[in-house]
């Protein structure tokens, strides 16, 4: 029995020694796999953070166009809540005062000059006009762009500033927004009864859905796994939760003030279905204008005369004090 026990013990020891190299290989392989996975995660996380910083960092002055001599006054006002200095142009109406006013809100990475041609058209039509640089754009303060969240405070600051001007009838202020500016405009109108009418051109209904759609177009990189990491990075870089950027949750509170939603069918940044989603969520009075064969915010510049006539007709009625027409239109 002793011999048998000894042989058994010897066999067990031999098997154990034979298994040790396999165990070492398994441990090394596991560590290598974890190391590669960790390195990949670190690379993806770092790249995502870089993208967030690159696309939300402050921009300088966009464009070179200037208003005609004497047409505009350089103004500064403060955004609500955080009191950031916002820079813009005020165009005083040549018509009898006080007159209605229009606020023009540009899209991401541009500035007030994006809206200058439209500003001059409204000025010539007898409106006071304010176009400004959103935070982190042009001459305005701020370190980061928040794609509509904090820009909402800039729109509210603009409306408050206009309401204090003696040239402006504070009961007849309309706001027109483009892309990011459209999202901020919808959200601002939901909070501010002083906004009498809204035109939202190429707005997203929810930012996350629009980002999924356009991520590769904008960044030239695959959506997964970068986009989820980028959304997480935005929380600690810009201090915003992209999941909360949802104008669809706010647009229903604009009623009974009229809203016009317009969008191009070929929009490659925000799919046109977002316009239909917003229109469905909006309450009356509301109007939908879908522009065939138009890309992102393209209708405004492709046929400027047609665009202005359509937008001005809506705002003229909305700001007339007679009440807006209630209808839906798709062209």
> pLDDT class for 4, splitting at 50, 70, 90?
very low
Distance CA(109)–CA(239), nearest Å, equals: 19
Query: Mean of the pLDDT values across residues 208-213?
Result: 88
> pLDDT class for 55, splitting at 50, 70, 90?
confident
pLDDT of 296 above 90: yes
pLDDT of 328 above 60: no
> pLDDT class for 327, splitting at 50, 70, 90?
very low
Please count the other Cβ atoms lying within 10 Å of the Cβ belonging to residue 58. 14
- Domains in the chain, ordered, with CATH? 1-56+211-243 (no CATH), 73-206+245-318 (3.40.50.1820)
pLDDT of residue 214: 79
pLDDT of residue 273: 97
pLDDT of 29 above 80: no
- Using a 10 angstrom Cβ sphere, with 0-12 exposed, 13-18 middle and 19 or more buried, the burial of residue 302 is middle
> pLDDT class for 183, splitting at 50, 70, 90?
very high
pLDDT of 323 above 50: no
pLDDT of 113 above 50: yes
pLDDT of residue 22: 46
pLDDT of 132 above 50: yes
pLDDT of residue 234: 85
> pLDDT class for 10, splitting at 50, 70, 90?
very low
Closest to 329 measured CA to CA, from 280, 300, 286, 297? 286
pLDDT of 294 above 60: yes
Predicted TM-score (pTM) above 0.75:
yes
Closest to 168 measured CA to CA, from 238, 100, 257, 77? 100
pLDDT digit string (tens) for 165-177? 999 999 999 999 9
Mean per-residue pLDDT of the chain: 86
Q: Are 123 and 129 a contacting pair, CB within 8 Å?
A: yes
pLDDT of residue 138: 98
pLDDT digit string (tens) for 191-205? 999 999 999 999 999
Closest to 215 measured CA to CA, from 231, 203, 200? 231
Read off the tokens for 61: 């002055």
> pLDDT class for 8, splitting at 50, 70, 90?
very low
pLDDT digit string (tens) for 74-107? 999 999 999 999 999 999 999 888 999 999 999 9
> pLDDT class for 40, splitting at 50, 70, 90?
low
pLDDT digit string (tens) for 213-265? 877 777 666 666 676 777 788 888 888 899 999 999 999 999 999 999 999 99
Burial letters 226-253, b for 16+ CB under 10 A, else e: bbebbbbbbeebbebebeebbbbebbee
């Amino acid at each position: 029995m002793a011999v048998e026990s000894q042989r058994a013990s010897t066999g067990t020891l031999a098997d154990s020694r034979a298994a040790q190299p396999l165990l070492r290989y398994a441990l090394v392989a596991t560590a290598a796999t974890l190391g590669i996975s960790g390195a990949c995660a670190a690379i993806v996380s770092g790249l995502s953070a870089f993208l967030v910083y690159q696309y939300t960092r402050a921009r300088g002055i966009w464009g070179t166009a200037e208003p005609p001599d004497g047409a505009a006054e350089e103004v500064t006002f403060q955004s609500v809540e955080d009191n950031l200095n916002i820079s813009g142009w005020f165009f005083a109406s040549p018509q009898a005062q006080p007159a209605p006013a229009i606020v023009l809100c540009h899209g991401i990475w541009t500035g007030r000059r994006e809206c200058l041609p439209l500003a001059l058209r409204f000025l010539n039509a007898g409106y006071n006009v304010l176009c400004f640089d959103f935070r982190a754009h042009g001459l305005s303060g701020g370190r980061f762009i928040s794609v509509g969240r904090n820009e909402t405070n800039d729109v509210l600051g603009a409306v408050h500033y206009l309401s204090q001007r003696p040239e402006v009838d504070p009961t007849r202020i309309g706001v027109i927004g483009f892309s990011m500016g459209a999202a901020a405009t919808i959200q601002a109108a939901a909070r501010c009864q002083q906004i009498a009418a809204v035109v939202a051109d190429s707005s997203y209904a929810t930012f996350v859905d629009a980002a999924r759609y356009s991520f590769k177009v904008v960044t030239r990189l695959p959506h997964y796994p970068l986009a989820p990491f980028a959304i997480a990075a935005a929380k600690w870089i810009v201090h915003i939760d992209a999941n909360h950027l949802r104008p669809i949750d706010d647009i229903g509170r604009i009623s009974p003030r009229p809203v016009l939603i317009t969008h191009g069918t070929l929009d490659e940044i925000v799919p046109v279905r977002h316009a239909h989603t917003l229109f469905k969520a909006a309450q009356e009075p509301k109007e939908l204008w879908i522009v065939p064969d138009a890309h992102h915010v393209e209708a405004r510049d492709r046929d400027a005369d047609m665009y202005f006539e359509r937008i001005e007709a809506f705002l003229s009625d909305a700001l007339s004090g007679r009440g807006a027409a209630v209808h839906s239109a798709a062209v």
